[in-house]
Each structure stands twice: as C-alpha cells, then as structure tokens.
With several copies, the nearest count.
Chain A
Amino acid sequence: MATAVAPKKMAMKDFKPEVPPDWCPGCGDFGVLNALFQACAEIDLPPRDLLVVSGIGCSSNLPGFIRAYGVHSLHGRALPFATGAKLANHGMTVIATGGDGDGYGIGLNHFIQAMRRNIDVTYIVMNNEIYGLTTGQVSPTSETGMKTKTTPHGNLEQMLNPMALALASGCGYVARGFSGQPKHLMKLYVDGIRHRGFALIDVFSPCVTFNKVQTYEWFRERVYKLEETGHDPTNFKGAMDRALEWGEKIPIGLLYRNPSPPPSLHEQDPGLQSGVLVHLPLGVSGEQRRKCIGEFT
C-alpha cells in the first residue's frame, strides 16, 4: 500500500461528495442521504471500507452522492449484487439502497430471499409510493385507489406491506423511518448497520413532484414513533401487529429486532471459513489438486 493513513474520527463531511445530488428540490431522498452521512460518521466508518450498492431509480442515484465505493447496478438487482460483493469481501460494510419500485416491485424476490439468507447487508428503501424516475406510475406501495399516470381510474391492487413481509421472511432487524425525521432515521441506520445480518430500513421519502398524496404533511400527520409507545421490539407478535397498522396512525421506528439473531451468512458459509475471499491466494495447492483429480481415477 502506497500511502499510510492515520486513523481518524470520521465526520459527515468525509462522506459528502463533490457531485451534488440532482434530485428535485425538496425530494425526500435528501433527508435520507443526510442521515446516512451522519450515521456513517457516527459509526466512524472509513469511506474506503464502505460499499453502497443501488438499483435504478431516483433513489438509486444515491451511491453517486456519497463518498464511498459505489455501484449503481440494474433496476431491481441491488441486493444480489450487494450479496455477491459482501460474500467476496466480508471485511467491507455493505449498504444497499433503492426505491419502492426497485426493491418491492421488480426486485421483490431478491428482497425476500436476502432476508431468509440473512446476508449482512443493510437495506435502505426510499419508499415514496410511486415510480419517480419514470415520472409517476403506480408502485407496489401505492395505496389502493391511488390515481397515477398508469392508473387513471385508481389503483386496483392492494398495497404491499414491506414490514409484514420482512417479518414473515425472518428478517432480524425491521425498521421504518421518515426522511422528515432525520435524527430518528440516523439512529435506525446506525443500529441497522451494526446489526449482524440483514437489516431493513424502509424510509418514507416523499416524491414532491409525482406523489401529491403522500406528501411530507401527509406523513407528518400520521407517523408516530414506536420508541415513545413502549413497544417492545423483541416481541415478534407485537411487531407483526404494528406492521399491519396503516391509516390514521402509522408507526415508525424499530418494529423488530431478533433478540437472539442467528449468525449471518458469511459467518457460516463453509467456503468462507478460510478467510476473506478477496484476500485468499488464487488457485489451489498441488496437494489439493491431486486429491481432487484422484477422486476420478
């Protein structure tokens, strides 16, 4: 390594990039990003040890707006990419980000399987209940009845419930934040990143341009913090009850944390027991080779 780097305390500015986000002024994603700067500083995570992987969407532009290693992959594929990356180098902290369409629409299968698989990735979904980048079509989290460009007579489908799905899929850390409450959100990130295993943080992140229903005001009127209600996040059934709540009152905060979380995937995978893959020598020893060949003679 060419330059020795003195250990130092990270600050928000260390994560702020040179390229300014090109989201619409007022977009909820700014709050999501700022809280992430703060969380990374709080955890004191050197940017070079952080990989942020996204799909495609307004929200998925995020990796371009944070100083870290980043990947802006394919629509819906942030989680498989992040999974492969984490398994290849489990020394790095891996965060996946994206939108509701990306994660709960085209990418839904990967989302559920990633939770079952308990890969140590923190997944931040900027849920604006609309397809932003493609300029305003219905999303899996759009409310029933919602009129969008592609549902002029109102959405006929039932809203997808990411919290309940996460619980039903065995996710060990299930939280929801609101980009209008960045401090609270930051705390959810910090705990989620520290959680060993898959952590979901679904964030209400208003699309000021295309979602004229779920606005900041709409959320502000409805959200309440679980932390202020005595909710016990280690109680699975209580968490499921909260997850099903939607309407006048909508909970944000930590819904569930598995009190005895199983080891995460990289801690158990037989092939990773010899160390971090990217640092292992390539190929096999002559002895291993001859053993493998011998099995066929």
Chain B
Amino acid sequence: MNQPDVTIGIGGAAGDGVASAGNTLAVSVARQGQAVFAYNSYQSVIRGGHSWLRLRISAKKPLNHGDQVDAVIALNQDTLDRHLQELQAGGLVLYNSAKLKPRYEPPKGVQLCPLPVPQLTPAYEKLPVMQNTVAVGAAMHLMGLDFEGLASVLESTFAKKPQVVKVNVEAAKAGFDYAAAHFQPLPKQLQKTSRKWALMTGNELMAMGAAFAGCKFYCAYPMSPATHILEWFAGHAKELGICVRQVEDEISVVNMSIGAGHMGVRSMCATSGGGLALMTEAIGMAGMIETPVVVVNVMRAGPSTGVPTKTEQADLNQAFGASQGDFPRIVIAPLSMHDCFRTPALAFNLAERYQCPVIILADLLMCEDNETVDTSLLDVDFTIDRGELMTEANAQFDGKPYLRYEDTPSGISPRAMPGLPNHLYVSGTDEHDEDGVLLSDVFTDPVRRKKMVDKRARKMDTVLDHVPAPTLEGAVGAELTLVGWGSTWGVLVEAVERLNQEGISANHLQINLLVPFHVKAVTDILSRSKNIVIVENNFSGQFARHLRAETGLVARGHIRKYDGEPFEPKHIVAGVKEILAGKDLVNVLSTEPGWRTDHPTGTSGDWAGRLVGAARSV
C-alpha cells in the first residue's frame, strides 16, 4: 500500500442524485487509472430519507470501503449535520453555500469548503442538481486529479443531449477551478496511472460472468439485492441470445430454470433469502433428477423480510439445509467482486459435471456496491466443461438400452440431451432405478434404493479435485489466523496488514467452497495456527458451526457483526484486540455519528404522543 487512498462520502436524500454524482466521480477517477471501492448505505424508501455513498479511491485497488472518510460532499443539510463530525484533521466538506450552512462546529483541522453554486453555474437556477456537478469538479481537484477524465465522462453520460453536456462540463470546470483557487487540497494526493478499470457492481459482474460462461436461460422474480442481475440480463438478452424471463414467483423461477437445465442449456436464477426458501423444494428435485442448475442467493440482513437494504452472511444454514433428505449439492461463496465474475463459470462447470444444483452465496455488500475491476480480468475466455453430456454431436448408440441413471463407478451417469434419438428416458423425483423407472412404486426394494442413494452421493467424491483448496495468505506461523468466508475477504486482507503493522502478527484464510468442504486442506492449515479467529457477518456464527461440524476445529475467538452495516478494517482490528485481551466473542457495531437515526417513534428518545396508537385509548 504505497499508494495513497482517498475516501469521499457523498450524502443526500433519495432523489438528490447521490448515486449519479457518485457514479460520475467514480468513472472519472477510473478513467485516470484510479481504482474505486464504493459502499452505499441507503434506506428502503423510494424518495426522501438518507443515502450515504462512500467511494474509496486509489491507484492501488482498495479491497474494501475503508473506515474513515477524508472528504464529504453534502447534497443536503441532513448530510452536513450527520457526517461533518466524522471527518478528521485534514479532511474537508464540500457543500452548496447558497443552500446549506454548517450547524455544528467542524472537528479540529477540518476544512469547510463552501461552493457558491449559483455564481459558479447559471444553470443552477433551473437545475438544482447542478450543485452535484460543481462539487464533483471541486473534489477532482482536491484529490489531485485532472479535469479531463471528468469532462469525458460527462460527455458520454449526456451524449444524447449536447447542450446539457456543455452546461455540465462548464459547471464542473467552475467547481474544479474554484477549488483550486479557494481550498487546500487534501493531504493525500492521488497519482494518475494508465490502468483500465471497469466500474461495476457484483450483480453486474455475476450476470456478465454467467453470460460469458454460457448461461442461456436466466429467470428471476425481483428481490433486493439480487434484482440487478435480472436487469442486466434483460438488457442484454436480445444481443446475446439469452432467454430472460421475469415470472410469477421464485417457485416458478427455479422450476423453469431446472426445466431449461434439464433440456441441456446452462441455466441460472438468483434471489435473496426468502426467495431461496421458496426454491428449496425444487433444489431437492434438481438433486434427485440430477439436473444441473445454478441458484444465486444474494444474502441480505434477515431473518424474514429483515432489512432489505442491508448486508449479512446468515443464509449458510439455509443453503446447507435446503430441501429434505440427503442429496449432492455444492455451495460456493465468492470472495470479491472479481470472484463474482468468475464464480458462475465455476458453478456451471461443477453443476454440469456433477449434475447437481450449485448454490452461490453472495451478499448485498458485494453485489449492490460498485468496485473497479481490471478490464483485462474480464475479457477472458472461460473454459466450459459440460461434463458427460450426450448431444447429437457426440452421442453413440450401441443398441443397448440407455440408462439415464446408470450406476457408474464415479456415480456420474452420462446425460442425454432430450431430443436425442434412441435415448428416451423419464426423470422422476420419486426414487428410481438406473433406467429411470420408479422404485417408489414397487413394494419395497432396499437393495436398489440403497444403490441409487450411494450412486448419487458418490458423485461428490471428486468435487474437491476441481476446486482449488484455500491457501493461507500472509506469514506462516503468525500468532493469529483470521478465518473468513465470502465477501469479508477484502476487509480481512487489510485488517491483517494493519494488525501486522501494529505488531500483532496475523495471517488469513478465506473460504469460498462451503459444500463440499476442503476438510483436509483446511485442517492442515488451521491445525498449525496458533490462534484462530473467525470473522463473520451474522449473529450465530453459522460458519464457525459449519467448520466445527466438518473439521472439529474450534476457534479461540469470534468477531461477528449483524447490525446491518458491513465490517470495516477497524472493526476487525478492534475485535482482535479484545480477543487477545481475553474475550472469545466480540460483536462489533458501527457507531459513526452519521448513522444515528431519528427513529419515527423514538423508542430511545422522547415518547410523548408519538407512539403508534397504543397510547391513546380505543
């Protein structure tokens, strides 16, 4: 980390244009070779409320959104009031002085940067959102970047309305120049590079990765935070020749996806927890009829409807326990946004090779937020392994009856694509024999029943050979091993660096394949660890339990978070210190002043006359 990084927070109400200002800024810095990691904390209202977008920007790719803002762009008074206090010496806040005024004393050393927007752009009078453009222009300067990147972004954004381009570019330039003339630049100045970044969300990466890996059928029912996968697919269906359907519910979604997978296309669907609950019955069907299907679950804070706009990692139990009975399934949790891009390809290969359902456990943090990914990592040809699939191109007919569920040594039975001559079969969710004929309709047949259970289960024997085992990151022999799974990878990498800087020697193991589990590899690594600390974004420690069930390993300490906000490096560092001081479980909490919320009925504040009806008699 020899490159400086700057974190800018943009806040406003829904409708104030937080997202678009953030996007303009992010793409502009990306065009100057900066990498970005964004985190947007927002509210489940369509208009109004508060939205707080943090962009961490650096020439060296940031792996998380950091834990300290350097600059704030306040689009409304509320933002100014909430977040001013979060800044530290050297930090600054940009705001439209014609509209907003700080109501608190800024922390020591924090620079107030009022922008006289009406003077800077005449367009403001009719288009109040021009204040955003001015502020973005100013921010570019204060970070030490050039103006050109921003101009080119504004040009492409408004490509269809040339007059608007001009006004915006002028306003941005005015902001840029005004900042140069009136404000102190940030202490950390960014360096331009020539790297090419694409700014994308995990959802977009997941969708694009799936399409590149041969997904031909995508079906979904809208559900946050997975909806954008559907929207990306819908927008690209025609040009890429993919059938994309929104249907009546998640039950229909998964059954259609399995139906399509059964016919021989690569088929995927996505949802979040409650939708996955509805899909579980059919996931068992896919296990039983041995149909490849990929089901993405973008986790959000539960239980039940929970907090739809907040992140969590608490659906591992659900994925593990999806559907009744024992059957082969694979569960993978991508570790980063780039991993969101690669995971569908892996999932399809495994689903087709092992003819079973594959569940991808992603989460809101990685799927809804934006990150820059090196474009060269995206422009790749995925290896496509369709497993033992018999098509018109490769099928041999030897005159022998075709056994769809043949009891082979590997447990994998060559699968004929329906429509093939000489390979008729029936796939049934009842227990069936090798030829597909139901065993459930005979009186009883313990021998054949057992044979078929064993055959299916045997397929899992070789999965681990096809998925690299996790490896220890950092120094072997460190005092402390942090263990995480899924999206916490980026925050843990940085936490480990900081711990080491602070003299606490730590290394790191991140798990992506949850079922089946790399028992041997993980045990080998962790049994050599001096102190294991498991970090996960849920209440009960679902992964810790899974690890113990699989390997018997018990951690020395646990750091958990289930307050809706994601981990930041500082939480982990603080948690580790508490554990080293003797605690075994640390539930960390986000407590930034900006996150203090005025509860509509004020449970912890003043009650009088505000509580839902109950206080009045009926």
Q: Tell me, yes or no, whether A and B come into direct contact in the complex with CB atoms closer than 8 A.
A: yes
B204 sits at the interface (CB 8 A): yes
The answer to whether A18 touches B611 (Cβ under 8 A) is yes
> What total of chain A residues lie within 8 Å of the partner, measured CB to CB?
90
- Tell whether A165 is near chain B: CB-to-CB under 8 Å: no
Bound-complex Cα distance A243 to B228 (A): 35
Q: CB-CB < 8 A to A289: which residues of B?
A: 212, 378-379
- Residues from chain A with a CB closer than 8 A to the CB of B396 are 2
A290: which B residues are within 8 A, CB to CB? 379
Contact assessment for A277 and B211 in the assembled complex, using a CB-CB cutoff below 8 Å: no
Contacts of A149 in B (CB 8 A): 231, 234
- Asked if B259 and A282 make an inter-chain contact with CB atoms under 8 angstroms apart, the answer reads no
Q: Is A19 touching B430 in the complex (CB atoms < 8 A)?
A: no
CB closest residue in chain A, given B30: A297
Q: Are B282 and A77 in contact (CB under 8 A)?
A: yes
Contact call B420/A106, Cβ cutoff below 8 A: no
Q: Please, how many angstroms separate the alpha-carbon atoms of A22 and B247 in the complex? A: 28
Question: Are A282 and B384 CB-contacts (below 8 A) given A85-B259, A87-B245, A135-B46?
Answer: yes
Segment of A46-54, A187-195, A217-225, A227-235 in the binding face: A46-54
Q: Determine the distance from Cα of A63 to Cα of B211 in the docked complex, in whole angstroms.
A: 33
A24 lies within 8 A of B47 (CB): yes
B329, chain A: closest CB distance, angstroms: 17
Contact (Cβ within 8 A) B249 A150: no
Task: List chain B residues, Cβ under 8 A from A2.
Answer: 395-397, 422
* Given known A89-B418, A134-B222, contact A73–B613 (CB-CB < 8 A): no
Choose among A68, A84, A89, A109 the residue that contacts B219 (Cβ–Cβ < 8 A): A84
Partner of A17, one of B198, B238, B256, B613: B613
Mark the stretch among B130-138, B264-272, B480-488, B513-521 that contacts chain A: B264-272
Q: Once the chains are docked, how many angstroms separate the CA of A85 from the CA of B425?
A: 15
Q: A85-B262, A134-B227, A272-B243 are in contact. Are A282 and B609 (CB under 8 A)?
A: no
Residues of B within 8 Å of A284, CB to CB, are: 211-212, 240
Q: A152-B234, A277-B260 are in contact. Are A134 and B422 (CB under 8 A)?
A: no
Q: Does A267 contact B (CB under 8 A)?
A: no
Inter-chain CA distance A209–B333, complex, in Å, is: 35
* A3 & B617 in contact (Cβ 8 Å cutoff): yes
Q: Are A70 and B260 in contact (CB under 8 A)?
A: no
Query: Given A1-B395, A283-B214, A292-B211 in contact, is the A81-B258 Cβ separation under 8 Å?
Result: yes
> What are the interface flags for B216-228 relative to A under an 8 Å C-beta threshold, 1 for contact and 0 otherwise?
1101011110010
* Closest Cβ–Cβ distance, residue A239 to chain B (whole Å): 25
Considering the complex, give the chain B residue whose CB is closest to the CB of A49.
B419
CB distance B46 to A58 under 8 Å? yes
B213 contacts across to A, CB distance below 8 A: 282-283
When chains A and B are docked, how far (Å) is the Cα of A154 from the Cα of B325? 36
Interface size class of B (residues with CB under 8 A): 35 or more
Is B257 part of the contact surface with A, judged by Cβ < 8 Å?
Answer: yes
B residues in contact with A83, CB < 8 Å? 247, 252, 256, 259
- Whether A22 contacts B45 in the complex (CB less than 8 A), given A73-B429, A282-B214, A297-B375, comes out as yes
User: CA of A284 to CA of B250 in the docked complex: distance in angstroms?
Assistant: 27
Interface centre among A69, A132, A134 (most CB of B within 10 A): A69
Complex CA gap A82/B427 in Å reads 13
Using an 8 Å CB-CB cutoff, how does the interface string of B411-431 with A read, 1 for contact, 0 for none?
Answer: 000000111111111111110
Q: Measured between C-beta atoms, what is the minimum distance from A132 to chain B in Å?
A: 7
Smallest CB separation, B512 vs chain A (Å): 23
CB of B378 within 8 A of CB of A81, answer no
B613 engages A47 (CB within 8 Å): yes
Residues of B within 8 A of A71 (CB): 259, 262, 289, 426-428
The answer to whether B392 touches A1, judged by C-beta atoms less than 8 angstroms apart, is yes
Are B247 and A80 neighbours in the complex by a CB distance under 8 Å? yes
Check B196 against A18 for contact (C-beta < 8 Å). no
B395–A274 CB distance below 8 A: no
Contact of B259 among A58, A88, A135, A269 (CB under 8 A): A88
- Expressed in whole angstroms, the minimum distance between the Cβ of A103 and any Cβ of chain B is 12
Enumerate chain A residues within 8 angstroms of B111, measured Cβ to Cβ: none
B242 interface contact, C-beta 8 A: yes
Which residue on chain A has the smallest CB distance to residue B348?
A282
A80, B251: Cβ atoms closer than 8 Å: yes
B239 CB within 8 Å of chain A: yes
Q: Does A178 contact B (CB under 8 A)?
A: no
Q: Is B230 an interface residue (CB 8 A)?
A: yes
Residues of A within 8 A of B261 (CB): 84, 88
12 residue pairs from A and B, CB less than 8 Å apart: A18-B610, A47-B613, A72-B429, A84-B219, A87-B260, A88-B217, A110-B252, A140-B248, A209-B46, A269-B237, A278-B419, A280-B241
Q: Please give me the 7 A-B residue pairs with the lowest Cβ-Cβ distance, nearest first.
A: A84-B259, A282-B214, A84-B256, A70-B426, A67-B613, A80-B255, A72-B428
Chain A interface residues toward B at CB < 8 A: 1-3, 5, 14, 17-20, 22-25, 46-49, 51, 53, 56, 58, 61, 63-64, 67-77, 80-89, 91-92, 105-106, 108-110, 113, 117, 131-135, 137-138, 140, 149-153, 209, 269-275, 277-278, 280, 282-284, 286, 288-293, 296-297
